[in-house]
Amino acid sequence: MKRIALPCVCMMAFLAIALPSLADENYLFHRIDATILVADVEISGDRLEEWTDAAGGYLLRKSNESVVIRLPYTEVGRLRDYLEEISETVVAVSLQATDLRESILGIQSGIDSREEILEKNLTFIDQADVSGTLAIEKEIMQLLSEIEGLKGSLRKVTVDRAYAWAQIYLRFMDQSLPSDIPSSFRWINTVDFYEFMRESY
């Protein structure tokens, strides 16, 4: 009994450290979708990757179409400023925030209830016969699997709290000159340069 209670106490202490007071911490998951117009998509993608590393984030995916990053939620405002710095035009920016507190409390409640059932099953296992022991062991394995799954969900939510998710779409800015630029010399506008060049050669 005592050997079972200790890990439960340690787990509660771990959760208290990993998940501080709801009132004091960020409990929002930030998502940013942006489209920017750039002169060179490859250079702009590289600059975004470098900025992300310097900001304490990390790269998820990079191509000539888009860059997907995770960055500390405190850097969301700076990212918007940086997009303006590296682009010719910020075409669109969409910001979304999801409150994670309900999810976190639900996951914690699931862990607590399963650990309570697990502890009870462990106290019964010595009193059961062979068939009862096998049934209890099967339930214990199921509970352990569920607890590990919930802990994985808790870790993911913890990451989502700390790191915003951003996808920046890169659009190439066509720098070709207009096909028809009128000259200030009116007579030049009347010359057929195609015919002129053909006759010249």
Is 23 a residue whose pLDDT tops 80?
no
Tens of pLDDT, residues 102-111: 999 999 999 9
Residue bearing the bigger pLDDT, 162 or 195: 162
pLDDT at 195: 58
Is 73 a residue whose pLDDT tops 60?
yes
pLDDT at 167: 97
d(C-alpha 184, C-alpha 100), whole Å:
64
Global pTM exceeds 0.75: no
Write down the domain spans for the chain.
1-174
